[in-house]
A and B are shown apart, each in its own frame.
Chain A
Amino acid sequence: MTDLLRKRQSLKKELLQQPNLLSTRISILGGSTTTEVKSMLELFLLAQGIRPTFYESGYNRYYEDISFENPDLWNFKPDIVLVHTTWHNVSQFPELLESETEVELRVRREMARFESFWEKIHTRLGAVIIQNNFDLPRLRPLGNLEASQSFGRVNFLMKLNAEFASYARKHARFIINDIHYLSAQVGLTEWLGNTYWYGFHMALSPTATVALARNVTAIVTSIYGKSKKCLVLDLDNTLWGGIIGDDGLQNLVLGSDHPVGAAFRDFQQYVKDLQRRGIILAVCSKNDPENAKEGFSHPDSVLKLEDFAAFKTNWDPKPKNIREIAEELNIGLDSMVFVDDNPAERAFVAEQLPEVAVPDVGSDVSLFAEILERERYFEVDKLVQEDLNRAAFYNSNAQRKVAESSFGDYGEFLGSLEMTAEIGPFLPVYLERITQLINKTNQFNLTTRRYTSAEVEAVAQDPGFVTLYGRLTDKFGDNGLVSVLIGHVLADTVELDVWLMSCRVLNREMELAMFDALVEQCQARGIRKIVGIYIPSKKNGMVAGHYGSLGFSRMDGSSEGRQLWFYEAPSTYAPKTRHIRRLAKPLLAAPEADNESVAAQTSV
């Protein structure tokens, strides 16, 4: 911490030198002094490749800035509003011995004040809100009654926190920054430092501010879909104590009979919990494959072999193996976290693959989970069914790969998959998943254009746009919603602003099925010309030839950084996909949007 404070100026300078920083505009609306929050948040965001520009409200002017529409804030046009309030900003605490009904009314009044404030931010500023919930006061004049009595302050704040959470569940683009947890983690004595509170009206000490900045950074990272997706694990002395090749299965230290064995089991449980919420697991270990697999048959092993989507056990250098895992799973190196008890292996991977996150976990297994937690690699702003099914997807993908190797001809293999696609204009039920895909797909993504959920909602209803989502099912399972396309209609031309696909359905003709559906949509709306845009990025090289292979021709005068490709649909179009059957109607009822597209057709 002291190092961070001391070196922040030079750190900032250094971090600003990184290439390809993503810009974002953040308004910090504070109920206390926020200078430190801004300074620390800037450092942590820069470390994640995000370059923030800030607007700070005046001291404790968070409410007025929104209510009276401060023109400076309005002109700033934030992408994100961080509402940095703490328990000091509760307008009125209950009176002693106040009845429960009166306390309830007070909760309602406080909520009404916050809700009107949030609604104004959403509707008038259109920004994502990150809202602190409440920490607890250090002092308890009523002692333990503060928690048990309805008029107690602790009790009152917990009620407000529950109401804040309930609002978050009902509103997209509203994310809770859980300072109730953070303050407990830091410790309330350390959380608010008297020197800083009385001297500067800072509601958080510098130590607490670091914890806050880390947490907010994780949230912002997740908003931009830059959270990590995959955890790569070593085996010996990482998932169990001992070396399976030397010590044998029966001598592994794992399970509650042994103090260290219990810590290994608990770490496995933590990893299993991550896997259950959609984090992909992979093994990268210097071991004989048979020995390595045997380890998971240990009766106290929480993790089982089938929990891993990739399994690299050999004697090759680990950077090579990790690179291969990334290729096999079709994910970027920058979405991987590597955990190994061996400092030499960590250093080697960190040096060879700077994109991979390599936390310094040390060699004490009882701290591994905590260190991973502290870094907040896997933060998500929402959890959808697709996340929970992800492990199953990757598992079925392994089965598909086995099936693939038993066919001589790739077309024959595709035919055997019995694929069915559901493709149509955006449906409300899918908007969350569509936004998630738009903001996190990097490889099969022609423009890497990001949309906020409000923008996705807007284009879904705007007849000036063509929108398509695609779901793909095959005999091994449902791949879920995997492809998104958004085109802007100008007279008889549609310009494709977004075309992306999840890499787990690569080489399955899904992109052809999407194109067939696009051409049909265009024909139905009297659009003849399709303009494809390709904006090369560090990660989307795989689609450089996409438009060319579909029969588009490169337009003159388009720059290398923003290539324009042109296609004119023939009057009789022959569908390109041969192995995907298209569902005529979505499985879910189509909305009234159909009428709108008819209206759009006549108006073009």
Chain B
Amino acid sequence: MTRDEFLSQMDEILGLPAGTLRGDEKLEELENWDSTSLITFIALAESNAGVSISPARVVNCFTVGDLLRLAQAESNPC
């Protein structure tokens, strides 16, 4: 998944107009970032890329970009 695809998916999950997120937004400042969107993020990573992301690692993400890096790291392990 490219950065743009990921950002537009996050726009949808958070109910924001397409093209809103740039990647540097702080998660805690996003109104709709809650347990439901967190679970959706994990579930989509699982069904799109077949990767299992531990909630503990999501909790350590501070920005939207961190989430992207986490999803990418899990799907392309070194």
A224–B41 Cα distance when bound, in Å, is 34
Please tell me which one of the listed residues B15, B35, B43, B55 contacts residue A9 in the complex, with CB atoms under 8 A apart.
Answer: B15
A560–B35 Cα distance when bound, in Å, is 46
A522–B42 Cα distance when bound, in Å, is 65
Contact status B44-A6, CB under 8 Å: yes
Contact status B47-A2, CB under 8 Å: yes
A176–B15 Cα distance when bound, in Å, is 34
Contact status A5-B43, CB under 8 Å: yes
Interface residues of B, count at CB 8 A: 21
A7–B14 Cα distance when bound, in Å, is 9
A306–B56 Cα distance when bound, in Å, is 62
Say yes or no: A36-B36 contact (C-beta < 8 A), given A195-B42, A195-B46: yes
Distance from A46 Cβ to chain B, minimum over Cβ atoms (Å): 15
Contact status B15-A10, CB under 8 Å: yes
Q: Mark B15-45, 1 if CB is under 8 A from A, else 0.
A: 1000000000000000010011001101110
Task: Select from chain A the residue with minimum beta-carbon distance to B38.
Answer: A200
Contact status A195-B53, CB under 8 Å: yes
Interfacial chain A residues near B13, Cβ < 8 Å: 5-6, 9
Interface residues of A, count at CB 8 A: 22
Interfacial chain A residues near B56, Cβ < 8 Å: 199
Task: Select from chain A the residue with minimum beta-carbon distance to B10.
Answer: A6
Contact status A1-B36, CB under 8 Å: no
Please tell me which one of the listed residues B12, B47, B52 contacts residue A10 in the complex, with CB atoms under 8 A apart.
Answer: B12
Q: Mark A17-59, 1 if CB is under 8 A from B, else 0.
A: 0000000000000000101100100000000000000000000
Please tell me which one of the listed residues A193, A200, A205, A206 contacts residue B35 in the complex, with CB atoms under 8 A apart.
Answer: A200
Distance from B55 Cβ to chain A, minimum over Cβ atoms (Å): 3
Please tell me which one of the listed residues A2, A193, A200 contacts residue B44 in the complex, with CB atoms under 8 A apart.
Answer: A2
Please tell me which one of the listed residues A5, A35, A199 contacts residue B55 in the complex, with CB atoms under 8 A apart.
Answer: A199
A36–B40 Cα distance when bound, in Å, is 9
Contact status A200-B47, CB under 8 Å: no
Distance from B8 Cβ to chain A, minimum over Cβ atoms (Å): 10
A200–B39 Cα distance when bound, in Å, is 9
A6–B5 Cα distance when bound, in Å, is 12
Contact status B39-A9, CB under 8 Å: no
Contact status B40-A5, CB under 8 Å: yes
Most buried by A among B43, B46, B55: B43
Contact status B39-A7, CB under 8 Å: no
Say yes or no: A195-B15 contact (C-beta < 8 A), given A2-B47, A35-B36: no
Contact status B47-A13, CB under 8 Å: no
Contact status B54-A195, CB under 8 Å: yes
A195–B47 Cα distance when bound, in Å, is 13
Interfacial chain A residues near B52, Cβ < 8 Å: 195
The answer to the question of B60 belonging to the interface, with a C-beta cut-off of 8 Å to chain A, is no
Chain A interface helix/strand/loop/mixed: helix
Distance from A538 Cβ to chain B, minimum over Cβ atoms (Å): 30
Interfacial chain B residues near A13, Cβ < 8 Å: 15
The answer to the question of B9 belonging to the interface, with a C-beta cut-off of 8 Å to chain A, is yes
The answer to the question of B2 belonging to the interface, with a C-beta cut-off of 8 Å to chain A, is no
Most buried by A among B12, B32, B39, B42: B39
The answer to the question of B76 belonging to the interface, with a C-beta cut-off of 8 Å to chain A, is no
Contact status B32-A200, CB under 8 Å: no
The answer to the question of A315 belonging to the interface, with a C-beta cut-off of 8 Å to chain B, is no
Interfacial chain B residues near A206, Cβ < 8 Å: 39-40, 43
A33–B46 Cα distance when bound, in Å, is 20
Contact status B47-A1, CB under 8 Å: yes
Contact status B55-A200, CB under 8 Å: yes
Say yes or no: A39-B36 contact (C-beta < 8 A), given A5-B43, A10-B12: yes
Interfacial chain A residues near B14, Cβ < 8 Å: 9
Task: Select from chain B the residue with minimum beta-carbon distance to A13.
Answer: B15
The answer to the question of A74 belonging to the interface, with a C-beta cut-off of 8 Å to chain B, is no
Interfacial chain B residues near A195, Cβ < 8 Å: 42, 46, 52-55
A132–B9 Cα distance when bound, in Å, is 33
The answer to the question of A196 belonging to the interface, with a C-beta cut-off of 8 Å to chain B, is yes
Contact status B48-A2, CB under 8 Å: yes
Task: Select from chain A the residue with minimum beta-carbon distance to B48.
Answer: A2
Task: Select from chain A the residue with minimum beta-carbon distance to B15.
Answer: A9
A7–B53 Cα distance when bound, in Å, is 21
Interfacial chain A residues near B39, Cβ < 8 Å: 35-36, 196, 200, 202, 206
Task: Select from chain A the residue with minimum beta-carbon distance to B46.
Answer: A195
The answer to the question of A169 belonging to the interface, with a C-beta cut-off of 8 Å to chain B, is no
Task: Select from chain B the residue with minimum beta-carbon distance to A8.
Answer: B40
Contact status A9-B32, CB under 8 Å: yes
Task: Select from chain A the residue with minimum beta-carbon distance to B56.
Answer: A199
Contact status B9-A6, CB under 8 Å: yes
A190–B59 Cα distance when bound, in Å, is 24
Interfacial chain B residues near A193, Cβ < 8 Å: 46
Interfacial chain B residues near A196, Cβ < 8 Å: 39, 42
Interfacial chain B residues near A9, Cβ < 8 Å: 12-15, 32
Task: Select from chain A the residue with minimum beta-carbon distance to B47.
Answer: A2
A193–B52 Cα distance when bound, in Å, is 10
Task: Select from chain A the residue with minimum beta-carbon distance to B9.
Answer: A6
A206–B14 Cα distance when bound, in Å, is 17
Contact status B36-A7, CB under 8 Å: no
Most buried by B among A5, A13, A33: A5
Most buried by B among A6, A10, A193, A206: A6
Distance from A6 Cβ to chain B, minimum over Cβ atoms (Å): 5
Interfacial chain A residues near B35, Cβ < 8 Å: 33, 35, 200
A9–B47 Cα distance when bound, in Å, is 19
A39–B12 Cα distance when bound, in Å, is 15
**What are 5 A-B contacts defined by CB distance under 8 Å?**
A6-B9, A6-B13, A9-B12, A195-B42, A200-B35
Other than the known A1-B47, A6-B44, A35-B39, what 19 A-B pairs have Cβ atoms closer than 8 Å? A2-B43, A5-B40, A6-B9, A6-B12, A6-B13, A7-B12, A8-B40, A9-B14, A9-B15, A35-B36, A39-B36, A193-B46, A195-B53, A195-B54, A195-B55, A196-B42, A199-B42, A200-B39, A206-B40
Chain A residues in contact with chain B, CB under 8 A? Answer: 1-2, 5-10, 13, 33, 35-36, 39, 193, 195-196, 198-200, 202, 205-206
